[in-house]
């Protein structure tokens, strides 16, 4: 049987029925094109031809008994991507080229419609066999009776443009296509087979090549396979790998930066989920060249901040040295007949100059030249060198506090010491992923017997690195020096840290023990952690005797002035200058001793001089504590640190702040005037 559609869509038999088997075998010879043999004359055939050629509409009739198409419009190649003879030979072609995700539902509905149960309606994705392009098709059909022959007659519409093209905008201001077009970035989606479903590409991003200079832009359109756009095999594998990771759940998303045509782009890939199952992928490509430039400027600011902190530490050291030199020179001038006192001061000046010149030398020393040599190393410079090595330390989420004292030089391998301190700073930074405060403090500490396990009594250069992170439990503290031990996220199969090596504390501990030093950890859950480094420094018997004399308090004495500074030479010279003016002075090198003296002599002490920057408690905080013990005591600030520390001391109750170095006459007159004002009040 052959047949054709007339203008009304009716079917007219052209030959007698043949046996079913014969019909199936000769179907390619007996079928008739709708457009090729119109019946009934008039304009019906022309109308059908016009509709099928301009409206992307395909007309067909299918015989369930013969299991083949018997009539169709001849525009199959333009809509379905197949030749007429191919359709005639194998009607199952339809199911073979329906998208995998739509095939089962379409087949189920089709079987029910062929039984005459209801009209058939289906919208599905079709993969054109001629160019592998995806198209959206809509089919409407129903079983009709033609001279005792049941035929499945209907139409197929190509709705790809309605779903994805410009015409989709008529669906309203909130249609998917309209929303995507509103983005100033490239946005497109893929199905599970990596075919492009929707695509928005702004004019300013049409030259973007995903890092492949030979990218096939002509293939980058709806319906085509995304990976087939790549000429560079390595780039294709690169994206294929990330898409597989997202599909398997190994990765939740992917983000990378791509440089193309001197512009920088950010590519992000996200899974598209439906009922918890990944059904496709969302790509977002943004041009971020301006952001990258801002990041570079910020990185330069961070570098500048690191240099500023280094300069502040060096300035603090030099100002303390200058203050000590002025003090000792004043002693020599005021006591020309005291040969021993003049000799001691002259030797002290020589020592100060030697120490300061060594600090200056280390500013310019080559790390390579000192990598394996044991040399005198300034702990302040080692700490700042380590801090400048740590990437991202001076970020906006971290507040960095630096308090440099004047620890004596330590004998160490400079590169190893800097590496150990760098590991400690990294560990502190990683404990605060959401930001916080990280402080670095140095000072000279005298350790008594059994005060620190593993250390003999004596003088040590001390470095304290504190963070405001989550802290450690006792169980974690006991294991924190073990190699590869970490509290960070671990791979469930290997146990290896996913965000660090687990070697930070153990590496630092091993280096410091090699340098005859020690590492201690103080921590409480919820209150952060302080890691302290102790390194032996020179402190011969003469220095120990001088220290003992400086801090001694005569029994029954009633001191007038308390001087608090972490530099022993500054304490010694300031005490001598003020005692020459007839005052009785006591000194303290840290907040603990200062508060102890205040509690002991709260009624006798009339004035306190406090250094702004000290390890442990800073000058402003210490001054507030002193004021609680004796609110009427006169307070002076004393600092070689940058100017921002001056206001903190004034806010804490200091009547005046002296900048180091200050000459002896200014120091004496300022103290005497402050005391006179106190007495007059």
3-state secondary structure (DSSP) of residue 512: helix
Mean of the per-residue pLDDT values of the chain = 77
**With bands split at pLDDT 50, 70 and 90, how would you rate the model's confidence at 33?**
low
pLDDT tens-digit readout, 194-233: 888 888 888 888 888 998 889 998 889 888 899 999 999 9
Residue 45 has a pLDDT of 63
Whether 129 and 97 have beta carbons less than 8 Å apart is answered as yes
30, 440, 588, 608 from 670: Cα distances, Å: 119, 32, 20, 12
Q: Which of 351, 276, 284, 304 is nearest to 572 (CA)?
A: 351
Q: Is the pLDDT of residue 8 over 60?
A: no
Tokens of 219: 């293939």
Q: Which of 617, 559, 611 is nearest to 586 (CA)?
A: 559
Residue 572 has a pLDDT of 85
Q: Is the pLDDT of residue 285 over 90?
A: yes
Tokens of 475: 């169980």
Instruction: Tell me how far the alpha carbon of residue 590 is from its chain's centroid.
Output: 38
pTM for the full model? 0.45
Q: Which of 233-242, 333-342, 483-492 has the lowest mean pLDDT?
A: 483-492
Whether 255 and 270 have beta carbons less than 8 Å apart is answered as no
What is the SS3 string spanning 183-220? CCCEEEEEECCCEEEEEECCHHHCCCCCCCCCCCHHHC
Tokens of 623: 């001054």
For residues 358 and 394, the model is more confident at 394
- Residue 465: asked if its preceding bond is cis (omega within 30°), the reply is no
Residues 6+ apart with CB under 8 A from 272: 189, 278, 279, 280, 281, 282
Residue 89 has a pLDDT of 63
Length of the chain: 681
Tokens of 30: 């007996």
What is the spatial distance between Cα 584 and Cα 79, in angstroms, rounded to a whole number? 105
What is the spatial distance between Cα 344 and Cα 570, in angstroms, rounded to a whole number? 15
Q: Is the pLDDT of residue 43 over 60?
A: no
What is the spatial distance between Cα 544 and Cα 324, in angstroms, rounded to a whole number? 18
What is the spatial distance between Cα 529 and Cα 526, in angstroms, rounded to a whole number? 9
Residue 129 has a pLDDT of 86
Whether 444 and 474 have beta carbons less than 8 Å apart is answered as no
Q: Which of 389-403, 595-609, 646-660 has the lowest mean pLDDT?
A: 389-403
Axis-axis angle for helices 664-680, 289-334 (nearest 10): 90
CA atoms within 13 A on the CB side of 342: 8
Exposure string for 643-653, b = 16+ CB within 10 A, e = fewer: eebbebbeebb
Residue 179 has a pLDDT of 65
Residues 108-118, mean pLDDT to the nearest whole number: 80
Q: Which of 20-29, 176-185, 330-339, 580-589 has the lowest mean pLDDT?
A: 20-29
Residues 252-261, mean pLDDT to the nearest whole number: 86
What is the spatial distance between Cα 160 and Cα 180, in angstroms, rounded to a whole number? 16
**With bands split at pLDDT 50, 70 and 90, how would you rate the model's confidence at 360?**
low
Residue 491 has a pLDDT of 44
DSSP assignment of 134-194 equals: EEEEEEEEEEEEETTEEEEEEEEEE-HHHHHSGGGGGG-TTSHHHHHHH-SSEEEEEETT-
Residues 400-427, mean pLDDT to the nearest whole number: 85
| Phi, psi angles (nearest 5°) of residue 342 | -65, -40
Residues 49-64, mean pLDDT to the nearest whole number: 78
Residues 138-160, mean pLDDT to the nearest whole number: 86
| Phi, psi angles (nearest 5°) of residue 668 | -65, -45
């Amino acid at each position: 049987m052959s047949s054709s559609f007339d203008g009304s869509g009716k079917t007219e038999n052209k030959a007698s029925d043949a046996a079913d088997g014969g019909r199936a075998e000769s179907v390619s010879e007996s079928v008739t094109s709708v457009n090729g043999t119109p019946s009934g004359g008039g304009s019906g055939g022309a109308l059908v031809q016009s509709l099928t050629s301009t409206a992307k509409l395909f007309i067909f009739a299918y015989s369930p008994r013969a299991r083949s198409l018997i009539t169709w419009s001849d525009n199959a190649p333009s809509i379905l991507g197949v030749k007429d003879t191919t359709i005639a030979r194998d009607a199952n072609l339809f199911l073979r080229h329906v998208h995998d995700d739509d095939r089962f539902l379409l087949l189920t509905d089709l079987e029910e419609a062929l039984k005459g149960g209801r009209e058939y309606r289906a919208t599905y994705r079709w993969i054109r066999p001629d160019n592998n392009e995806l198209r959206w098709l809509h089919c409407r059909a129903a079983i009709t009776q033609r001279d005792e022959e049941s035929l499945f007659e209907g139409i197929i519409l190509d709705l790809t443009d309605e779903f994805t093209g410009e015409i989709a905008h008529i669906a309203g201001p909130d249609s998917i296509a309209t929303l995507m077009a509103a983005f100033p970035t490239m946005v497109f989606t893929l199905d599970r087979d990596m075919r492009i479903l929707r695509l928005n590409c702004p004019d300013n991003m049409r030259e973007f090549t995903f890092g492949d200079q030979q990218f096939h832009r002509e293939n980058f359109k709806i319906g085509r396979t995304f990976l087939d756009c790549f000429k560079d095999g390595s780039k294709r594998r690169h994206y294929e790998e990330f898409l597989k990771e997202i599909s398997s759940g190994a990765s939740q998303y992917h983000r990378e930066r791509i440089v193309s045509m001197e512009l920088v782009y950010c590519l992000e890939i996200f899974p598209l989920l439906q009922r918890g199952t990944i059904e496709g992928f969302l790509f977002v490509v943004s041009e971020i060249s301006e952001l990258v430039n801002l990041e570079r400027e910020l990185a330069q600011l961070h570098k500048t901040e690191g240099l500023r902190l280094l300069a502040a530490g060096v300035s603090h050291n030099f100002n303390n040295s200058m203050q000590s030199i002025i003090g000792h020179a004043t002693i020599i001038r005021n006591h020309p007949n005291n040969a021993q006192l003049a000799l001691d001061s002259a030797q002290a000046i020589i020592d100060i100059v030697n120490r300061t010149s060594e600090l200056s030398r280390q500013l310019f020393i080559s790390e390579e030249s000192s990598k394996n040599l044991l040399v005198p190393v300034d702990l302040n410079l080692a700490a700042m060198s380590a801090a400048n090595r740590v990437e991202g330390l001076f970020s906006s989420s971290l507040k960095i506090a630096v308090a440099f004292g004047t620890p004596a030089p330590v004998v160490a391998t400079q590169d190893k010491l800097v590496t150990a301190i760098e590991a400690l700073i990294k560990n502190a930074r990683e404990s605060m992923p959401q930001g916080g405060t990280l402080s670095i403090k140095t000072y000279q500490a005298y350790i008594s017997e059994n005060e620190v396990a593993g250390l003999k009594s004596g003088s040590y250069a001390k470095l304290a690195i504190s963070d405001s992170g989550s802290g450690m439990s006792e169980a974690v503290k006991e294991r924190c020096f073990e190699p590869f031990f970490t509290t960070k996220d671990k791979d469930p199969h290997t146990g290896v840290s996913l965000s660090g090596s687990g070697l930070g504390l153990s590496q630092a501990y091993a280096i410091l023990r090699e340098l005859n030093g020690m590492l201690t950890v103080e921590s409480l859950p919820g209150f952060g952690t302080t890691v302290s480094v102790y390194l032996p420094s020179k402190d011969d018997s003469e220095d120990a005797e001088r220290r003992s004399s400086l801090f001694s308090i005569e029994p029954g004495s009633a001191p007038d002035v308390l001087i608090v500074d972490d530099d022993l030479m500054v304490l010694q010279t300031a005490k001598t200058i003020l005692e020459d003016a007839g005052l009785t002075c006591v000194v303290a090198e840290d907040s603990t001793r200062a508060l102890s003296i205040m509690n002991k002599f709260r009624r006798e002490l009339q004035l306190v001089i406090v250094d702004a920057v000290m390890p442990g408690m800073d000058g402003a905080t210490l001054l507030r504590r002193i004021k609680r013990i004796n609110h009427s005591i006169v307070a002076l600030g004393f600092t070689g640190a940058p100017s921002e520390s001056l206001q903190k001391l004034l806010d804490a109750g200091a009547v005046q702040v002296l900048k180091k170095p200050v000459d002896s006459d200014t120091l004496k007159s300022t103290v005497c005037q402050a005391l006179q004002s106190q007495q007059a009040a």
